[in-house]
Amino acid sequence: MTSQAEPHLLVVDDDARLRELLRRYLADSGFRVTTAGDAGEARSQLASFAFDLVVLDVMMPGESGLELTRVLRSEGRVPVLLLTAMAEPEDRVNGLEHGADDYLSKPFEPRELVLRIRNILQRLPAADPGSGDLRFGGCRFDVIRGELYRGGDPVHLTAAEAGLLLILAQKAGQAVSREELSLSLSGNVRNVDVQMTRLRRKIERDPRFPRYLQTIRGTGYTLKPD
Protein backbone atom coordinates (compact mmCIF):
# COMPACT_ATOMS: atom_id res chain seq x y z
CA MET A 1 0.00 0.00 0.00
CA THR A 2 1.16 3.54 -0.69
CA SER A 3 1.42 6.29 1.87
CA GLN A 4 0.84 10.01 1.50
CA ALA A 5 4.38 10.42 2.90
CA GLU A 6 5.86 8.67 -0.12
CA PRO A 7 7.20 10.99 -2.84
CA HIS A 8 4.67 11.35 -5.65
CA LEU A 9 6.20 11.06 -9.12
CA LEU A 10 4.72 11.88 -12.52
CA VAL A 11 6.18 9.68 -15.29
CA VAL A 12 5.62 11.09 -18.79
CA ASP A 13 6.54 8.93 -21.79
CA ASP A 14 4.75 8.13 -25.04
CA ASP A 15 6.05 4.53 -24.96
CA ALA A 16 3.24 2.71 -23.15
CA ARG A 17 5.36 -0.37 -22.42
CA LEU A 18 8.23 1.61 -20.89
CA ARG A 19 5.77 3.79 -19.02
CA GLU A 20 4.19 0.78 -17.35
CA LEU A 21 7.57 -0.78 -16.55
CA LEU A 22 8.68 2.44 -14.91
CA ARG A 23 5.43 2.70 -12.98
CA ARG A 24 5.84 -0.79 -11.53
CA TYR A 25 9.53 -0.46 -10.75
CA LEU A 26 9.22 2.95 -9.12
CA ALA A 27 6.19 1.85 -7.13
CA ASP A 28 8.15 -1.18 -5.89
CA SER A 29 10.95 1.23 -4.94
CA GLY A 30 8.72 3.16 -2.56
CA PHE A 31 7.22 5.93 -4.69
CA ARG A 32 3.66 6.89 -5.51
CA VAL A 33 3.49 7.00 -9.31
CA THR A 34 1.11 8.65 -11.76
CA THR A 35 1.70 8.34 -15.50
CA ALA A 36 0.95 10.35 -18.63
CA GLY A 37 1.43 9.54 -22.31
CA ASP A 38 2.15 13.04 -23.61
CA ALA A 39 2.57 16.66 -22.56
CA GLY A 40 -1.16 17.38 -22.74
CA GLU A 41 -2.01 14.53 -20.38
CA ALA A 42 0.87 15.59 -18.13
CA ARG A 43 -0.56 19.12 -17.89
CA SER A 44 -3.88 17.67 -16.83
CA GLN A 45 -2.25 15.59 -14.10
CA LEU A 46 -0.16 18.54 -12.92
CA ALA A 47 -3.30 20.63 -12.61
CA SER A 48 -4.92 17.96 -10.45
CA PHE A 49 -2.09 16.76 -8.20
CA ALA A 50 0.97 18.12 -6.42
CA PHE A 51 4.01 16.13 -7.53
CA ASP A 52 7.42 15.89 -5.91
CA LEU A 53 9.21 15.19 -9.20
CA VAL A 54 8.51 14.68 -12.91
CA VAL A 55 10.30 11.99 -14.92
CA LEU A 56 9.94 13.26 -18.46
CA ASP A 57 10.77 11.83 -21.88
CA VAL A 58 12.35 14.34 -24.24
CA MET A 59 11.23 13.04 -27.64
CA MET A 60 7.43 12.93 -27.64
CA PRO A 61 4.97 13.72 -30.44
CA GLY A 62 3.54 17.21 -30.24
CA GLU A 63 4.98 19.23 -27.39
CA SER A 64 8.44 17.87 -26.56
CA GLY A 65 9.81 17.19 -23.12
CA LEU A 66 12.17 20.14 -23.46
CA GLU A 67 9.29 22.49 -24.21
CA LEU A 68 7.27 21.18 -21.28
CA THR A 69 10.32 21.49 -19.00
CA ARG A 70 10.68 25.15 -19.93
CA VAL A 71 7.02 25.76 -19.08
CA LEU A 72 7.32 23.93 -15.75
CA ARG A 73 10.34 26.04 -14.84
CA SER A 74 8.41 29.25 -15.53
CA GLU A 75 5.43 28.12 -13.44
CA GLY A 76 7.01 26.51 -10.40
CA ARG A 77 9.80 24.52 -8.83
CA VAL A 78 8.73 20.90 -9.33
CA PRO A 79 11.99 19.05 -10.16
CA VAL A 80 12.36 17.48 -13.62
CA LEU A 81 14.49 14.48 -14.59
CA LEU A 82 14.73 14.09 -18.37
CA LEU A 83 14.92 10.70 -20.11
CA THR A 84 16.16 10.58 -23.67
CA ALA A 85 17.87 8.45 -26.31
CA MET A 86 19.95 11.54 -27.21
CA ALA A 87 23.20 11.00 -25.33
CA GLU A 88 25.59 13.59 -26.75
CA PRO A 89 27.10 16.11 -24.25
CA GLU A 90 25.42 19.02 -26.02
CA ASP A 91 22.04 17.29 -25.60
CA ARG A 92 22.62 17.07 -21.86
CA VAL A 93 23.62 20.72 -21.63
CA ASN A 94 20.57 21.67 -23.70
CA GLY A 95 18.32 19.81 -21.29
CA LEU A 96 19.89 21.51 -18.27
CA GLU A 97 19.59 24.91 -19.92
CA HIS A 98 15.86 24.28 -20.40
CA GLY A 99 15.56 23.84 -16.64
CA ALA A 100 16.01 20.11 -16.02
CA ASP A 101 17.51 19.05 -12.69
CA ASP A 102 19.10 15.91 -14.12
CA TYR A 103 19.36 14.01 -17.39
CA LEU A 104 19.50 10.24 -17.97
CA SER A 105 20.17 8.63 -21.34
CA LYS A 106 18.30 5.58 -22.62
CA PRO A 107 18.83 2.73 -22.22
CA PHE A 108 19.47 3.05 -18.50
CA GLU A 109 19.74 0.87 -15.43
CA PRO A 110 16.49 1.25 -13.39
CA ARG A 111 18.48 1.34 -10.16
CA GLU A 112 20.38 4.37 -11.45
CA LEU A 113 17.09 6.11 -12.18
CA VAL A 114 15.94 5.50 -8.61
CA LEU A 115 19.24 6.80 -7.22
CA ARG A 116 19.06 9.94 -9.34
CA ILE A 117 15.47 10.58 -8.26
CA ARG A 118 16.40 10.18 -4.61
CA ASN A 119 19.43 12.44 -5.02
CA ILE A 120 17.24 15.19 -6.47
CA LEU A 121 14.66 14.84 -3.72
CA GLN A 122 17.31 14.79 -0.99
CA ARG A 123 18.94 17.99 -2.16
CA LEU A 124 15.67 19.91 -2.15
CA PRO A 125 16.07 22.47 0.63
CA ALA A 126 12.93 21.40 2.45
CA ALA A 127 14.69 20.50 5.68
CA ASP A 128 15.80 23.24 8.05
CA PRO A 129 19.45 24.02 7.20
CA GLY A 130 19.71 26.99 9.48
CA SER A 131 17.78 30.14 10.18
CA GLY A 132 17.37 33.66 8.89
CA ASP A 133 17.45 35.34 5.52
CA LEU A 134 20.43 36.28 3.39
CA ARG A 135 20.23 39.48 1.35
CA PHE A 136 22.25 40.46 -1.69
CA GLY A 137 21.37 43.29 -4.02
CA GLY A 138 17.61 43.41 -4.36
CA CYS A 139 17.30 39.70 -3.51
CA ARG A 140 16.42 37.85 -0.32
CA PHE A 141 17.15 34.15 0.08
CA ASP A 142 15.14 32.27 2.69
CA VAL A 143 17.62 29.60 3.79
CA ILE A 144 14.96 27.66 5.69
CA ARG A 145 12.60 27.26 2.74
CA GLY A 146 15.22 27.53 0.02
CA GLU A 147 13.22 30.30 -1.67
CA LEU A 148 14.55 33.37 -3.47
CA TYR A 149 12.71 36.68 -3.65
CA ARG A 150 13.40 39.88 -5.55
CA GLY A 151 11.64 42.59 -3.61
CA GLY A 152 8.43 40.86 -2.60
CA ASP A 153 8.21 38.70 -5.72
CA PRO A 154 9.33 35.06 -5.76
CA VAL A 155 12.07 34.09 -8.21
CA HIS A 156 11.54 30.58 -9.56
CA LEU A 157 14.50 28.29 -8.91
CA THR A 158 15.00 24.73 -10.04
CA ALA A 159 15.90 22.21 -7.34
CA ALA A 160 19.46 22.21 -8.68
CA GLU A 161 19.71 26.00 -8.52
CA ALA A 162 18.20 26.12 -5.03
CA GLY A 163 20.61 23.41 -3.88
CA LEU A 164 23.64 25.33 -5.15
CA LEU A 165 22.45 28.61 -3.66
CA LEU A 166 21.79 26.94 -0.33
CA ILE A 167 25.34 25.59 -0.11
CA LEU A 168 26.77 29.00 -1.00
CA ALA A 169 24.45 30.74 1.48
CA GLN A 170 25.54 28.43 4.28
CA LYS A 171 29.14 29.49 3.58
CA ALA A 172 28.48 33.09 2.54
CA GLY A 173 31.70 34.99 1.92
CA GLN A 174 33.76 31.79 1.76
CA ALA A 175 35.18 30.07 -1.31
CA VAL A 176 33.30 26.84 -2.07
CA SER A 177 34.93 24.33 -4.41
CA ARG A 178 33.23 22.97 -7.50
CA GLU A 179 33.61 19.50 -6.02
CA GLU A 180 31.64 20.46 -2.91
CA LEU A 181 28.98 22.23 -4.96
CA SER A 182 28.67 19.19 -7.21
CA LEU A 183 27.38 17.15 -4.27
CA SER A 184 24.01 18.84 -4.88
CA LEU A 185 24.22 17.81 -8.56
CA SER A 186 24.74 14.06 -8.26
CA GLY A 187 28.48 14.65 -8.09
CA ASN A 188 28.71 16.03 -11.64
CA VAL A 189 31.33 18.79 -11.44
CA ARG A 190 30.77 19.88 -15.04
CA ASN A 191 27.16 20.77 -14.27
CA VAL A 192 28.17 23.28 -11.61
CA ASP A 193 29.21 25.93 -14.16
CA VAL A 194 26.01 25.43 -16.19
CA GLN A 195 23.80 25.86 -13.13
CA MET A 196 25.84 28.84 -11.90
CA THR A 197 25.38 30.60 -15.22
CA ARG A 198 21.62 30.15 -14.89
CA LEU A 199 21.64 31.42 -11.30
CA ARG A 200 23.55 34.53 -12.30
CA ARG A 201 20.95 35.33 -14.96
CA LYS A 202 18.31 35.32 -12.23
CA ILE A 203 20.29 37.25 -9.60
CA GLU A 204 22.89 39.52 -11.15
CA ARG A 205 22.17 42.84 -12.80
CA ASP A 206 24.86 42.02 -15.37
CA PRO A 207 25.68 38.27 -15.36
CA ARG A 208 28.87 38.97 -17.32
CA PHE A 209 30.23 40.95 -14.36
CA PRO A 210 28.78 39.23 -11.30
CA ARG A 211 28.72 41.17 -8.05
CA TYR A 212 27.28 38.52 -5.75
CA LEU A 213 27.99 35.10 -7.31
CA GLN A 214 31.71 35.47 -7.85
CA THR A 215 34.15 33.02 -9.39
CA ILE A 216 37.15 32.08 -7.29
CA ARG A 217 39.78 31.22 -9.84
CA GLY A 218 41.16 27.70 -9.46
CA THR A 219 38.68 26.88 -6.71
CA GLY A 220 34.99 27.44 -7.35
CA TYR A 221 32.53 30.14 -6.32
CA THR A 222 31.53 32.37 -3.45
CA LEU A 223 28.36 34.26 -2.52
CA LYS A 224 29.00 37.84 -1.40
CA PRO A 225 26.00 39.07 0.62
CA ASP A 226 25.32 42.71 1.47
Q: For 205-224, how does the pLDDT look when each residue is reduced to its tens digit (9 = 90+)? A: 999 999 999 999 888 999 98
Q: How far apart are CA 82 and CA 59, in angstroms?
A: 10
Q: For 139-169, how does the pLDDT look when each residue is reduced to its tens digit (9 = 90+)? A: 888 877 788 988 778 899 988 898 899 889 8
Q: Give per-residue burial for 17-38: e unless 16+ CB within 10 Å, then b.
A: eebeebbeebeebebbbbbbbb
Q: How far apart are CA 88 and CA 184, in angstroms?
A: 23
CA angle 128, 133, 134 (to 5 degrees): 115
Q: Report whether CATH 3.40.50.300 matches the domain 8-123.
A: no
Q: Which residues on neighbouring strands pair with residue 55, listed in sequence order?
A: 11, 81
CA angle 40, 194, 144 (to 5 degrees): 80
How do the domains of the chain map onto residue ranges? 8-123, 133-223
Q: For 168-184, how does the pLDDT look when each residue is reduced to its tens digit (9 = 90+)? A: 988 888 899 999 898 87
Q: Percentage of the chain with pLDDT > 90?
A: 39
CATH of domain 133-223: 1.10.10.10
